[in-house]
């Protein structure tokens, strides 16, 4: 049976619409799938970003800590260098003083010899017939002044050294009992020295732990 032309046209139009609908549905499905893929990749990317941010924060913290450690080590190295230089300068000054002391001792021996020579010469004058008392001129005033300053300086340095040794010995005594035997003006310093020794001992690692 032959269909009317209008029915054939309608059937073709319907088929075309159905094809267009199928294509549209296919495009919709593809778009939805793409959206799902994009959302999935977005979630994965957001997770990667969060992890990266955490890693950056941790690395920045560790970097700051390492910079501080480096800065402390540099300050310590510089302090040690200054201490080493100070010790070297002290030893150089001590060596020069030792040489000066040797020279001073030799000059003192020379002066003593010259004094004996003066005494011998005066006795020779008397032996030659001089009856009057021979009053010798005094030694140069600058020698006595310098000698007095030297003696006072040595006395002060020895006193300071003795006090330091007394303080250290009292601070290290069992339970600090020897501190009570010190003069009153030294007891506070001895207690501070003992506290410093305890702090130093506590801050050092136990050798048995290594």
95 belongs to a structural domain:
yes
Determine if the pTM surpasses 0.75.
no
What are the DSSP E strand ranges found in the chain? none
One domain, residues 88 and 179:
no
DSSP 13-34: HHHHHHHHHHHHHHHHHHHHHH
Which of 83, 102, 127 corresponds to the end of one domain? 127
Which of 127, 158, 181 corresponds to the end of one domain? 127
Distance of alpha carbon 94 from alpha carbon 87, whole angstroms: 10
Rounded to 5°, angle at Cα 17 from 16 and 21? 120
CA dist list (Å): 111 to 6, 105, 143, 207: 152, 10, 11, 57
One domain, residues 116 and 163:
no
* Tokens, residue 82: 């200054």
One domain, residues 61 and 29:
yes
Distance of alpha carbon 210 from alpha carbon 208, whole angstroms: 6
Distance of alpha carbon 21 from alpha carbon 42, whole angstroms: 31
pLDDT by position in tens, the chain (length 210)? 555 557 888 888 888 889 999 999 999 999 999 999 999 998 999 999 999 999 999 999 999 999 999 999 999 999 999 999 999 999 999 999 999 999 999 999 999 999 999 999 999 998 998 888 888 888 888 988 998 888 888 888 877 887 888 878 888 888 777 888 877 877 888 888 888 888 777 766 554 443
* Domain of residue 190, residue span: 144-201
One domain, residues 194 and 169:
yes
């Amino acid at each position: 049976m032959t269909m009317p032309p209008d029915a054939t046209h309608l059937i073709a139009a319907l088929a075309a619409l159905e094809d267009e609908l199928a294509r549209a549905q296919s495009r919709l499905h593809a778009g939805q799938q793409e959206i799902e893929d994009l959302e999935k990749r977005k979630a994965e990317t957001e997770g990667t970003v969060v992890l990266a941010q955490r890693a950056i924060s941790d690395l920045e913290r560790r970097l700051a800590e390492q910079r501080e450690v480096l800065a402390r080590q540099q300050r310590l190295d510089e302090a040690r260098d200054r201490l080493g230089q100070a010790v070297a300068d002290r030893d150089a000054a001590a060596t020069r003083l030792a040489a000066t002391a040797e020279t001073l001792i030799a000059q003192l021996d020379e002066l003593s010899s010259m004094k004996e020579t003066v005494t011998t010469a005066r006795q020779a004058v008397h032996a030659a017939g001089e009856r009057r008392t021979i009053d010798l001129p005094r030694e140069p005033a600058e020698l006595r002044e310098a000698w007095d300053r030297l003696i006072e300086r040595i006395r002060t340095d020895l006193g300071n050294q003795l006090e330091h040794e007394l303080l250290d010995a009292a601070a290290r005594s069992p339970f600090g009992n020897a501190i009570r035997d010190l003069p009153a003006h030294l007891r506070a310093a001895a207690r501070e020295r003992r506290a410093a020794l305890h702090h130093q001992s506590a801050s050092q690692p136990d050798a048995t732990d290594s």
